[in-house]
Amino acid sequence: MNPLRRWLAPSHPAQLLLGLTLWSLWFVALYGGLSVACELAPPAPGQGVLTAINGALALLTLATLGLLGWLAWRGLRAGRGGVGGSRFIALTGAGLHLFSAAGVAFVGLPILALPPCL
Amino acid sequence: MSETMRPTPEAERLHRELEAVWGNPPGWRGRLSVVNHSTLGLRFMATGLVFFLLGGVLAMLIRTQLALPDQAFMSPEIYAQVTTMHGTVMMFLFAIPMLEGLAIYLIPKMIGTRDLVCPRLTAFGYWCYLFGGIILFSSLLLEMAPDSGWFMYTPLSSSEFAPGPGSDFWLLGITFVEISALAAGVEITVSILRTRAPGMALHRMPLFAWYILAMALMIVVGFPPLILGSVLLELERAAGMPFFTVAGGGDPILWQHLFWLFGHPEVYIIFLPAAGIVSTLIPVFAGRPIVGYGWVVAAIVITGFISFGLWVHHMFAVGIPQLAQAFFSAASMLVAVPTAIQVFVWLATLWLGKPRMTVPMLWVTGFLVIFVCGGLTGVMLALVPFNWQVHDTHFVVAHLHYVLVGGMFFPLVAGAYYWLPLVTGRMPSERLGRLGFWLTFLGFNLTFLIMHWTGLLGMPRRVYTYDSAMGWDLVNLISSLGGFMMAAGIAAVLVDLVLHGRYGRTAPRNPWGADTLEWSLSMPPASYNFASLPRVESRHPLWETPTLGDAIARGEGVRPGAAHGRRELLGGEALTGRVRELIHLPGNSLLPLYAALCLAVVCVSLLIRLYPLSLLGLAGAGVLLLRWSWENGGHRRAAPLGHDEPEDPPLHSRTADGPGRWTMEVALLADGAFFLALLFGWFYLWTVSPQWQMPARSPLSLLLLLASGAALTLGALWLERRVAALIRGREAGLVLALGGIAALGGLHVALLVVVLLDAGLAPTATAHDATLLVGLAYLLGHGGLAALLAALQAWRAGLGLVGARLPFEPGVVALLWRYQLGAYWILVAAMALLPRLTGGGP
């Protein structure tokens, strides 16, 4: 197995870090993207929530949610069939992916409610 | 050996053999050269205790000043110095080093090994901490202490508003101390991952080791942004580079970002090891395994990550968009989830077990009450409108003390009472322990519960006095009385700590009925910890095999004794704990002390602006560190090649993947965090700074940068090829090849110097040029080091210290080259290419 496939296997310890790393990257993209967009092209204040910035951030959030959900499902499936250390890593990794997905959903909620640059 | 053991002749022979190899040398010179983790862990903790007492005295001065209105006990200037130093000392000189010391002392014993993986780095870290702490604290005695608050906000800490040397003491002293924290972070990470007892797979590792692993990695990633911030602010103060000055294109808010990028994770860096103590003690005193081991591991990992996404909640009042505030507000609430998981796990474990209310458990109970309250006010502060309402009031002071004292100090004392019998072989006093607890617990709540009121009544932080008409008299008086009651409680604990070593009753073997490996050792433990190394098949080795300690002492474990005369650890696979190699460690040395002394010279000479001396000190430290690295691998003072080499497993220097490689990788992770913080600073100033001045044309020559990058790329690729060939056993032409690679590195650096000279930067005029200068200096430093290390490898290959039988070191150096390659092209793209593509300007 090549190193990348090995790292991505559900029973590899990297799975303990992958979900929250994705959460972190999403969070940095969210905050950084918002800040840069507000500096470069702030929408008119009257536009409210229906702006291109909110739309782009919502799409990014949905894509991240999908990826994390899939990773969690894969981990749960592998964990049920595993034993010992492999089972522990796969199930704990799946739990962390699920938490990361919940984190993305919770932190991303204000995108639906607040205008971006006020 | 302890009197609690019954040594057999075989055990005594092993003890003599191991003590000859691992023992600390006698005399003053010997004591200064010690690298043993137990000795150094205790030194860290003893030094931390001294700083805690000094910080505590400062706290009492503050409470004395505030006890009554309109007091002139301290002048406003001295009060500002005292509050700044109280926070600084407690956070940087007590909390972090104390917990590092605990980890340094305990981790090898808990994971079943004989020492940490880089013992000289432990010693170096200790000396950096000691000297940095002394330099920083001396500022108070000289009445030149920093007075801008422990977070040193600009422009209050900049030259204009803090012209004296106070801020310089802080910036240089703290950076010096942080070297120590990073050193500990790197080696603890690698030690936990690579030197656990055979069979101790990740899912069998003690929870305390999980907590410490998270703490160590958080130090590695979290401290570099503050180091960068300190370097930039010192450059602004000493050389006039306007990173944080609006008129020069800088931005004072950048400091807040860099500080809190470190500062918020710092809270969890302190909390996690303390929670590790709680997760270790509760199962022992409940008499059953912890409920939900996997849940706790997940909670630790979640805390480690989420805590890096909260820093802006310290900056809600600076004026950022509401949507961004909402992101950080939500993330701040999210971090309560892993903490709640742990609290429920602890409660469930107590509920399902049969708790014994011993003195350590009393302190754990105090922790639970206080920390949960602190967590709840934390959730309140995560709400933006409430945060604005109590911003900069004593409510925040009360909250942070509930979190830090409740979340760190109470578990620490619980841990002290729990592990004291291991350290000294004697039991502490039950009566003094309980008296100390109740005085501290009641005194603490009297001080800080009331302080929430003081804050809600509107009393701001950091004011040296108040008018009686404000109505804050009574609450302040009660807080001050509570503070002194708490001090009396801590004094009772200290008395116990000092006296129990002489008057305490002799501790029985494993006095608390614990499950982890440190209690299988003699009390106090021998310098080598284990006479033979344990094989671990369970999360609770001592509950499964209570006589494990006797078997280990008789040499019935793995790799008994040290007839070979080397300090050896077993190196294992990170996931399974399966044995892979024998790690040979360096012995006692004065080099770490001398290197730290040179850095102290650098620190002091920068303070007094004697720059030639600081360069001399830096060069001295560099030479000493390189000399230290020279005595490695096949060197005659390390593990020279011989005819009776162990083969199954082999010595690590005969493999391609020893712990040094992992150490380099983790160190480069810290380096990468510094680099990312620098990139963040560049883009932040570019996009946000109100008066950023981007020239119409980048001053950096693209042609020269491409030429320099080509030399670096060629060198790095060549080195990768040579490393691969070496692993396959081909060493012909190695000296010449490494020499050629070093020459390419030299060319890369020389061309970069030409880029710098050609650019004609004006770093004191604009933040743009100043940031370019720092970026180029970063690349020059790393490029120079990469070239130098390649040259030294060529030399070592010529001496037969690197070759087909000793293939380890070039692979480690190749990692630095790989890193420099990535950093170089990213920085060229960010600082030279992107401005050209976008046409510059904000």
Contacts of B319 in chain A (CB under 8 A): none
Report yes or no: B302 at the A interface, CB cutoff 8 Å: yes
8-state DSSP, B651: B
What is the pLDDT at residue B6? 59
Does residue B74 contact residue B65 with C-beta atoms inside 8 Å?
A: yes
Our measurement of the distance from residue B97's CA atom to the centroid of its chain's CA atoms, rounded to an integer in Å, reads 8
Average pLDDT over chain B reads 95
What is the pLDDT at residue B762? 96
- Considering only the beta carbons, identify the residue of A12, A34, A113 that sits closest to B321: A34
* Residue B593 tokens, joined: 């002390």
The number of domains in chain B is 3
Single-letter amino acid code for the residue at B697: R
What is the pLDDT at residue B841? 47
Average pLDDT over residues B104-121: 97
pLDDT greater than 70 at residue B5? no
DSSP string, A21-37: HHHHHHHHHHHHHHHHH
The model's pLDDT over A89-109, given as tens digits with 9 standing for 90+, comes to 999 999 999 999 999 999 999
What CA–CA distance (Å, rounded) separates B274 from B268?
Answer: 9
The model's pLDDT over B202-235, given as tens digits with 9 standing for 90+, comes to 999 999 999 999 999 999 999 999 999 999 999 9
In a domain, B642, yes or no: no
**pLDDT band for position B9 (cuts 50, 70, 90):** confident
Average pLDDT over residues B492-520: 95
- Pick from B483, B372, B366, B481: which is nearest to B433 by CA? B366
In a domain, B520, yes or no: no
pLDDT greater than 90 at residue B7? no
What is the pLDDT at residue A11? 85
What CA–CA distance (Å, rounded) separates B56 from A76?
Answer: 50
The model's pLDDT over B727-786, given as tens digits with 9 standing for 90+, comes to 999 999 999 999 999 999 999 999 999 999 999 999 999 999 999 999 999 999 999 999
Task: Give the end of a domain, one of B460, B479, B503.
Answer: B503
**Is the CB of B301 less than 8 angstroms away from the CB of A17?**
yes
B647: helix, strand or coil: strand
What CA–CA distance (Å, rounded) separates B544 from B231?
Answer: 52
In a domain, B788, yes or no: yes
Distance from CA of B742 to the nearest CA of A (A): 29
**Is the CB of A84 less than 8 angstroms away from the CB of B321?**
no
What CA–CA distance (Å, rounded) separates A4 from A97?
Answer: 19
The reported pTM is 0.95
The CATH code of the domain that includes B821 is 1.20.120.80
What percent of chain B shows pLDDT beyond 90? 92
What is the pLDDT at residue B842? 43
**Taking the CB of residue B502, how many other CB atoms lie within 10 A of it?**
8
Strand B567-572 to B579-585 pairing: antiparallel
What is the pLDDT at residue B102? 98
The domain segmentation of chain A, as residue ranges, is: 15-29+48-118
**Is the CB of B327 less than 8 angstroms away from the CB of A36?**
no
Distances in Å between the Cα of B238 and the Cα atoms of A21, A61, B764 are 38, 44, 11
Report yes or no: A31 at the B interface, CB cutoff 8 Å: yes
What is the pLDDT at residue A1? 65
Peptide bond into B524 cis (omega under 30): yes
In a domain, B148, yes or no: yes
Report yes or no: B330 at the A interface, CB cutoff 8 Å: yes
**Is the CB of B575 less than 8 angstroms away from the CB of A13?**
yes
In a domain, B76, yes or no: yes
For residue B506, list its beta bridge partners. B426
What CA–CA distance (Å, rounded) separates B662 from B675?
Answer: 19
Does residue B632 contact residue B589 with C-beta atoms inside 8 Å?
A: no
In a domain, B678, yes or no: no
Q: What is the ipTM of this complex?
A: 0.93
pLDDT greater than 80 at residue B252? yes
Give the Cα-Cα-Cα angle B456, B457, B463 (nearest 5 degrees).
100
In a domain, B605, yes or no: yes
- Pick from B337, B331, B343, B338: which is nearest to B370 by CA? B343
pLDDT greater than 70 at residue B3? no
Contacts of A106 in chain B (CB under 8 A): 330, 333-334
Q: Containing domain of residue B706, as a range?
A: 686-838
Question: Domain check: are B179 and B281 in the same one?
Answer: yes
What is the pLDDT at residue A40? 85
In a domain, B406, yes or no: yes
8-state DSSP, B320: -
- Considering only the beta carbons, identify the residue of B321, B328, B842 that sits closest to A38: B321
The model's pLDDT over A51-94, given as tens digits with 9 standing for 90+, comes to 999 999 999 999 999 999 999 999 999 988 878 788 899 999 99
Report yes or no: A90 at the B interface, CB cutoff 8 Å: no
Average pLDDT over residues B125-140: 96
Average pLDDT over residues B135-141: 95
For residue B347, list its beta bridge partners. none
B576: helix, strand or coil: coil
